[in-house]
Amino acid sequence: MELKNKQIIIETTNVCDAHCVICPREKFKQKPQAMDMGLFKKIIDDASQYDLESVDTCGFGECFLDKRLFERFAYIREKLPGAEIFVSTTAFHMGPETWDDVFQYIDILKFSIYGATEKTYEAFHRGKMKYAVAMKNIIGFLDYTTEDEMLRPYTIGLFVVTDLNRHEVLPWVEMWEPKLDEVFVWEPHNWIEGRSYRTVDHTRQTTCGRPDNGPLYVHADGTVSPCCWDIHKDIPVGDMKIQSIKEVYRGEPYRKLREAHRDGNFYGYACWNCDQTNFNPGVLLYKSNQDRQVGQITSNRRDIRKPS
């Protein structure tokens, strides 16, 4: 079997000690957990037969709270030497003790930074997040050097706009664009029904592209969903504890979902209330990389809306 999308997303942990205003963590009912290492290795072993371009280890959690994160990355390097490793983080837990491993294993590193000042940052990120700690870790890492600078990851800065931080967009861009390889500014999405930033127009719904062209998304317990928006596992299409990647993709739940998206028949699925079925290129408010487009996967810029 040939994979249409050469990426896999594995939620190594769903634990996060931030509570960003855009994130419906207060509604999250899943068991807090890190993925069992045996299950993780099973998934990577299975994936090793495919020509993967990237492995994204982010989900609804903070990667750096996973105590076995770099052990997992070492296993990816062993089994999938050609795949890039993508991580998204606040960097609050990415202290100096992690930097050598970050250089060694991570290829693309995206920082979520939702404020340009301490007051706004902490009001937005909430939870245990402290602006001074996150900034010290990010700036310290960017200033850190190793013997092999070719290992330095590609760095991205993400700013998501709400009324809470809209006044800091320009100073944020001026602060981070010179320091990082790429920055972008987005309007927030809804997490299906977790938030209500965007109105879903049922008269113009179309496929988001994920069932046909998106990456496999595996939750920390092994359940497979068609995308990371399905935090409650309302659309389970497989279980990597007992299935292979091939069995999941060719299974009846995934087949029916693909048919529904091709037919534009979203009713009965969580997709019915998902803003991703209303394509809106205006939600990307600023991009330093002019090749960046709405509809791409952040970690590999693959456009999932175009036929594969």
Rounded to whole angstroms, the Cα distance separating 274 from 158 reads 22
Residue in the structure block whose two tokens are 């850190």? 144
Rounded to whole angstroms, the Cα distance separating 138 from 96 reads 10
Is 300 part of any domain?
no
Residue 155: enclosing H or E segment and its boundaries?
Answer: strand 154-160
Is 173 part of any domain?
yes
Q: How far is CA 173 from CA 60, 167, 289, in A?
A: 26, 12, 13
Which amino acid type is present at position 75?
Y
Q: 22 phi and psi, to 5 degrees?
A: -85, -5
Whether pTM exceeds 0.85: yes
- Domains of the chain: total: 1
Q: Which residues of the chain are modeled with pLDDT < 70?
A: 301, 305-308
Q: 58 phi and psi, to 5 degrees?
A: -110, 150
Is 308 part of any domain?
no
Is 119 part of any domain?
yes
Is 234 part of any domain?
yes
DSSP annotation of 65 reads G
For residue 20, the model assigns a pLDDT of: 98
> Can you say whether the dihedral through the CA atoms of 178, 181, 182, 183 is positive or negative?
negative
Q: Which of 18, 95, 27, 16 is nearest to 59 (CA)?
A: 16
Is 247 part of any domain?
yes
Q: How far is CA 83 from CA 39, 80, 106, 129, in A?
A: 19, 6, 11, 31
pLDDT digits (tens, 9 = 90+) for 219-262: 999 999 999 999 999 999 999 999 999 999 999 999 999 999 99
Is 298 part of any domain?
no
Q: Which of 301, 299, 304 is nearest to 84 (CA)?
A: 299
CATH code assigned at 175? 3.20.20.70
* Full residue range of the structural domain in which residue 175 is found: 7-287
Is 306 part of any domain?
no
For 72, counting Cβ atoms within 10 Å of its Cβ (0-12 exposed, 13-18 middle, 19+ buried), the class is buried
pLDDT digits (tens, 9 = 90+) for 30-56: 999 999 999 999 999 999 999 899 999
For residue 297, the model assigns a pLDDT of: 81
For residue 307, the model assigns a pLDDT of: 56
